[in-house]
């Protein structure tokens, strides 16, 4: 049984210690700074150690998750997937039991066709984070807002998978219909323009970033956002280098 042992808060104990040191005029300020730094490092280590311990107990309780949804791709067939509601129903009680919280937020991307979703598993004074860039899921009948909402939910499921070590029952082909497709001509042009603007060696870049892709037109949708972000970062560094000359 996982029992939480009550003990005095480390910050409270250390606060009382520091007040005593501050009242002592014989202790110089630089030594107090060293004490503060050492204590912060100690607390950080203790928090990480507690996180790892309770995370091990959390994952030991985690069952394999059923695939309760089905996507119909018409001529391409159907594939099962796990809805976020199904994952939340299993995750939420276990997170509470073991002292964790799963949090999500998004950040602005330079392009409207990229959605950057962040997630964190926090608890015991420590947290692990994950970032998942995705394109809008512009499926049949979805407007622009619904396409972004669908992609955010998609990203949340995969961030939860990663941070919580979730195992799904059955063969994992979730999302293959959309993310395994090749990028369209507009996306090919954008990648090509960025490659030219940064004087990037196409073959070397693709060999480094993706597997078994020799030409830009062979890039899959699942890799597109990652490649764009990498090239934009390279472009930003080039501009900064030019400015500093």
96-119 pLDDT, tens digit per residue, is 999 999 999 998 766 667 889 999
Predicted confidence at residue 74, as pLDDT, reads 60
Q: Which helix (H) or strand (E) holds 123?
A: strand 115-123
Is residue 3 situated within a structural domain?
A: no
- Asked whether 98 and 120 are in contact (CB, 8 A), the reply is no
**Residues 167, 190: one domain?**
no
Check whether 186 has a pLDDT greater than 90. Answer: no
What are phi and psi for residue 189, nearest 5 degrees? -65, -40
40 and 103 inside one domain? no
As a whole number of angstroms, the distance between CA 105 and CA 115 comes to 11
| Whole-number pLDDT of residue 37 | 81
Q: Is the pLDDT score of 93 beyond 90? A: yes
**Alpha carbon distance 163, 130 (integer Å):** 7
In sequence order, what DSSP letters do the residues of 52-108 get, joined into one string? HHHHHHHHHHPPPBP--EEEE-GGG-EEEE--HHHHHHHHHHHHHHTT-EEEEEEE-
Residue 149 lies in a domain: yes
pLDDT at 172 over 60: no
Indicate the number of domains in the chain: 3
Q: What is the pLDDT of residue 19?
A: 67
Same domain, 73 and 54: no
Q: Give yes or no: residues 161 and 102 share one domain.
A: yes
Percentage, residues of the chain above pLDDT 70: 79
Indicate whether 203 belongs to any domain: yes
pTM of the full structure: 0.57
Owning domain of residue 29 = 10-60
Same-domain status, 211 and 151: no
Q: Which residues contact 140 (CB under 8 A, 6 or more apart)?
A: none
Residues 74 and 167 in one domain: yes
Confidence band, pLDDT 50/70/90 cuts, at residue 154: confident
**Spatial distance between the Cα atoms of 198 and 132, rounded to a whole number of angstroms:** 24
Rounded-to-integer distance, Cα 143 and Cα 204, Å: 37
The most confident of the ranges 24-33, 168-177, 211-220, 236-245 is 211-220
């Amino acid at each position: 049984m996982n029992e939480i042992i009550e003990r005095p808060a480390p910050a409270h104990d250390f606060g009382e210690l520091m007040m005593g040191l501050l009242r002592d005029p014989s202790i110089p300020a630089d030594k107090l700074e060293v004490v503060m730094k050492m204590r912060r490092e100690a607390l950080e280590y203790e928090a990480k150690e507690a996180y790892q311990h309770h995370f091990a107990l959390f994952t030991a309780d985690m069952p394999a998750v059923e695939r309760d949804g089905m996507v119909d791709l018409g001529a391409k067939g159907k594939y099962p997937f796990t809805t976020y509601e199904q994952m939340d129903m299993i995750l939420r009680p276990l997170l509470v039991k073991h002292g964790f919280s799963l949090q999500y937020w998004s950040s602005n991307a330079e392009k409207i066709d990229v959605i950057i979703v962040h997630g964190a598993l926090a608890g015991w004074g420590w947290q692990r984070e994950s970032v998942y860039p995705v394109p809008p899921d512009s499926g049949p009948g979805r407007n622009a807002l619904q396409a972004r909402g669908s992609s955010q939910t998609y990203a949340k499921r995969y961030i939860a998978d990663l941070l919580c070590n979730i195992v799904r029952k059955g063969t994992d082909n979730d999302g293959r219909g959309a993310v395994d497709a090749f990028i369209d001509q507009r996306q090919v042009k954008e990648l090509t323009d960025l490659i030219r603007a940064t004087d990037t060696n196409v073959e070397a870049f693709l060999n480094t970033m993706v597997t078994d892709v020799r030409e830009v037109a062979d890039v899959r949708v699942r890799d597109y956002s990652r490649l764009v972000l990498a090239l934009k970062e390279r472009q930003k560094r080039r501009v900064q280098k030019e400015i500093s000359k």
